[in-house]
């Protein structure tokens, strides 16, 4: 299925935003831990800081998505402009002559190059997963809202009056509805505009007035603090950043601090903290809790043991090792946060400007296809915009640093849009307004370059990516004029043939004319030959046990040919484990097998 360009650009920008969020959320988490290290005991401050950290992550990701979307739009505009340029100049690697910063780290290059090729898939994968999680979230919200009305009954008037009295003391404006429910096992609060407090049926009868007030205070504290609304916001962000474990740590910290803050409200109005601790412990031990993420409840979703110790006035000792590790990692993440966006922007500097020159003569001069004629005329289908910059060979005497130019520079692979190992890849270069004899080509990576006067032959040896650099000679000095990147691949697997056939039915006459197995490179524009190193032949005749032979090389052995002569109609011939060696291969490759069935001549 071919998607519109807008969907492709959207998913590509989304993929980049997801990738950037990995280090962005990590940096936010480290900063959060660095600040909260000094805020021990200030639960409300830590709670607000954790919510702010999650919101900052969402805002940063949204800004990153917007910036990436504008970037891919600019790239697409360059590609579209070049694709509709005069004289069918569509097979070119187009960039401006913008100089590139070459101080990048190799590891980051590899990551950026991989992301450049997979950002769209990452974006769609995130979109599909987030959609499923959103549907699950909406289903959970609908189920939680049903608890407000299903199998509920109003509590006794005295309990409702106690609830109203505490709501007034806490400054809660909305009317609180206090009910009992048959579908829950613990006290909980649902809703924001019209909040409802639900207690399990029979629980109020087993509590003392002090215990009832303590549990009510906890639920009312959630309402006064607008925790239900904040929790919805938090759940939404958990869907957005479902893939990031540190975001879940932030979210868990917010939930823990939320419960601590509500406990602090209860302790402020309660004369007996141990009574409240015993009440919570009894609830924890007496019921099987099926947690509902859309509700606020006294048991909460935090470290229950730590809560009880706090209420009892016991402060557990926290290990400090993780804080020291966090402080050591913080400078590294700060440096990465400042370096990566800048490097990413520089990598795209060559496509940040629109192509404004439509000089027919300049474009036509860039297309050089007369030096090496391909086997067939195959129009190029795409224009590749260079990705992040790669390493540059050290400067030599007489070579100046890269200098920005205003001309249009083109590097064109004349046969395919990648470079292949084991063959000579013809490449031509040209630049608007620059004599071709003033240009030279160099290769960054494993390989060699031959040729000159705008026409070159490149031989590469290692899969991955190479950088082709164009240098300009001016007044006896050389300067880096531009560079583009090409993917390097090994020669594709050939297709096995026997007697000019890929398999299926074969007559006895055609079979006897076969001399061996061939490996053909189909739709490959280079003069390359893959040598068959060996294979296994199995012949199955009706009523006779199968016979197998190992053949070395491409030609059938005499024993195999004798079996072919004796084979009857309906016999099966299976050629398996075909091993070949193509140009540039260090070891043999296995290309599968083919099967035939002998049929009568028509």
Please indicate, yes or no, whether residues 324 and 301 belong to a single structural domain of this protein.
Answer: no
In a domain, residue 562? The reply is yes
Domain boundary among 430, 463, 489: 489
Q: How many domains does the chain have?
A: 4
Please indicate, yes or no, whether residues 162 and 263 belong to a single structural domain of this protein.
Answer: yes
What is the SS3 assignment for 461? coil
In a domain, residue 96? The reply is no
| DSSP code of residue 501 | B
Please indicate, yes or no, whether residues 502 and 369 belong to a single structural domain of this protein.
Answer: no
- Residue-wise pLDDT for 335-393, tens only, equals 555 445 544 544 444 443 333 333 333 333 333 333 333 333 333 333 333 333 333 33
Confidence (pLDDT) at 578: 94
Please indicate, yes or no, whether residues 500 and 568 belong to a single structural domain of this protein.
Answer: yes
What is the SS3 assignment for 102? coil
In a domain, residue 355? The reply is no
Q: Residue 91: name the closest of 389, 416, 339 by CA.
A: 416
- Residue-wise pLDDT for 420-440, tens only, equals 998 989 988 888 778 888 888
**Token couple for 110:** 């590899």
Confidence (pLDDT) at 293: 57
In a domain, residue 427? The reply is yes
Range of the structural domain that residue 327 is part of: 8-82+104-137+319-349
In a domain, residue 249? The reply is no
In a domain, residue 181? The reply is yes
pTM of the predicted model as reported, rounded to 2 decimal places: 0.50
> 230: which residues sit within 8 A by CB, 6+ positions away?
51, 258
Q: How far apart are CA 466 and CA 458, in angstroms?
A: 11
Q: How far apart are CA 304 and CA 325, in angstroms?
A: 27
Please indicate, yes or no, whether residues 572 and 549 belong to a single structural domain of this protein.
Answer: yes
Half-sphere exposure of 366 (CA within 13 A, CB side): 29
| DSSP code of residue 407 | S
| Edge-to-edge order in the sheet of strand 177-181 | 152-154, 177-181, 196-200, 188-190, 296-297
Phi, psi (rounded to 5 degrees) for 447: 160, 175
Confidence (pLDDT) at 366: 37
CATH code for the domain of 485: 2.60.40.10
In a domain, residue 248? The reply is no
3-state secondary structure 185-254: CCCEEECCCCCEEEEECCCHHHCCHHHHHHHHHHHHHHHHCCHHHHHHHHHHHHHHCCCCHHHHHHHHHH
Tell me if 380 sits within 8 A of 415, measured CB to CB: no
End-to-end Cα separation, the chain, in angstroms: 42
Q: How far apart are CA 309 and CA 287, in angstroms?
A: 21
Spans of the chain below 50 pLDDT? 1-4, 87-105, 288-290, 316-325, 327-328, 338-339, 342-343, 345-407
Beta bridge partners of 441: 470
Please indicate, yes or no, whether residues 193 and 166 belong to a single structural domain of this protein.
Answer: yes
Please indicate, yes or no, whether residues 199 and 266 belong to a single structural domain of this protein.
Answer: yes
Please indicate, yes or no, whether residues 169 and 293 belong to a single structural domain of this protein.
Answer: yes
DSSP 327-390: HHHHHHHHHHHHHHHHHHHHHTGGGSS------HHHHHHH---SSS--SS-------PPP-S--
66-75 contact pairs (CB < 8 A, 24+): 68/12, 68/13, 68/16, 68/17, 68/20, 69/9, 69/10, 69/13, 71/13, 71/348, 71/352, 72/9, 72/12, 72/13, 72/16, 73/9, 74/348, 74/351, 74/352, 74/354, 75/348, 75/351, 75/385
Q: How far apart are CA 281 and CA 302, in angstroms?
A: 14
In a domain, residue 3? The reply is no
Domain boundary among 468, 489, 510: 489
Please indicate, yes or no, whether residues 480 and 510 belong to a single structural domain of this protein.
Answer: no
Please indicate, yes or no, whether residues 288 and 334 belong to a single structural domain of this protein.
Answer: no
Backbone conformation region of residue 270, classed left if phi is above 0, alpha if psi is from -120 to 50, else beta: beta
Please indicate, yes or no, whether residues 176 and 303 belong to a single structural domain of this protein.
Answer: yes
Please indicate, yes or no, whether residues 391 and 532 belong to a single structural domain of this protein.
Answer: no
């Amino acid at each position: 299925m071919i998607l519109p360009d807008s969907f492709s650009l959207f998913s590509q920008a989304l993929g980049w935003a997801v990738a950037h969020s990995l280090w962005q959320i990590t940096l936010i988490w480290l900063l959060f831990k660095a600040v909260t290290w000094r805020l021990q005991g200030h639960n409300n401050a830590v709670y607000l800081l954790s919510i702010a950290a999650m919101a900052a992550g969402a805002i940063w990701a949204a800004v990153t998505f917007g910036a990436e979307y504008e970037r891919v739009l600019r790239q697409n505009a360059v590609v579209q402009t070049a694709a509709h340029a005069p004289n069918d100049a569509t097979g070119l690697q187009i960039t401006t002559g913008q100089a590139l910063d070459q101080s990048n780290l190799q590891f980051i290059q590899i990551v950026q190059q991989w992301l450049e090729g997979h950002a769209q898939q990452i974006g769609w994968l995130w979109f599909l997963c987030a959609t499923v999680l959103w549907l699950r979230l909406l289903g959970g919200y609908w189920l939680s809202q049903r608890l407000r009305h299903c199998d509920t009954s109003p509590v006794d008037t005295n309990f409702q009056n106690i609830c109203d009295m505490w709501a007034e003391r806490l400054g809660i404006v909305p009317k609180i509805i206090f009910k009992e429910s048959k579908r829950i096992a613990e006290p909980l609060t649902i809703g924001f505009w019209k909040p409802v407090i639900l207690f399990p049926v029979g629980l109020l009868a087993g509590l003392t007035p002090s215990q009832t007030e303590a549990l009510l205070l906890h639920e009312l504290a959630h309402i006064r603090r607008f925790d239900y609304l904040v929790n919805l916001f938090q759940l939404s962000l958990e869907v957005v950043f479902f893939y990031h474990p540190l975001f879940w740590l932030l979210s868990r910290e917010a939930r823990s601090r939320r419960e601590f803050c509500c406990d602090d409200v209860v302790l402020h109005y309660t004369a007996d903290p141990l009574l409240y601790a015993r009440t919570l412990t009894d609830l924890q031990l007496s019921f099987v809790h099926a947690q509902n993420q859309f509700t606020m409840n006294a048991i909460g979703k935090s470290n229950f043991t730590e809560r009880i110790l706090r209420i009892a006035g016991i402060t557990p000792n926290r290990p400090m090792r993780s804080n020291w590790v966090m402080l050591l990692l913080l400078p590294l993440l700060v440096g990465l946060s400042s370096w990566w966006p800048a490097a990413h922007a520089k990598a795209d500097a060559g496509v940040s400007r629109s192509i404004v020159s439509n000089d027919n003569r300049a474009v036509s001069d860039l297309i050089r296809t007369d030096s090496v004629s391909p086997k067939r005329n195959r129009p190029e289908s795409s224009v590749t915009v260079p990705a992040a910059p790669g390493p540059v060979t050290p400067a030599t005497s007489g070579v100046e640093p890269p200098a920005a130019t205003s001309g249009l520079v083109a590097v064109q692979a004349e046969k395919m849009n990648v470079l292949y190992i084991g063959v000579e890849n013809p490449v031509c270069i040209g630049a608007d307004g620059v004599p071709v004899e003033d240009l030279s080509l160099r290769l960054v990576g494993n390989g060699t370059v031959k040729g000159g006067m705008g026409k070159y032959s490149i031989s590469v040896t290692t899969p991955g990516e190479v950088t082709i650099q164009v240098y300009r000679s001016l007044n006896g000095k050389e300067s880096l004029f531009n560079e583009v990147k090409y993917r390097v691949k090994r020669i594709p697997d050939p297709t096995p043939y026997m007697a000019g056939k890929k398999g299926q039915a074969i007559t006895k006459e055609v079979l006897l004319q076969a001399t061996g197995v061939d490996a053909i490179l189909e739709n490959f524009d280079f003069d390359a030959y893959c040598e068959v190193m060996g294979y296994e032949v199995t012949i199955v005749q009706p009523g006779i046990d199968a016979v197998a032979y190992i053949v070395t090389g491409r030609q059938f052995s005499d024993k195999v040919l004798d079996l072919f002569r004796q084979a009857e109609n309906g016999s099966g011939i299976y050629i398996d484990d075909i091993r070949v060696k193509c140009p540039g291969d260090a070891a043999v490759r296995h290309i599968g097998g083919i099967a035939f069935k002998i049929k009568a001549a028509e």
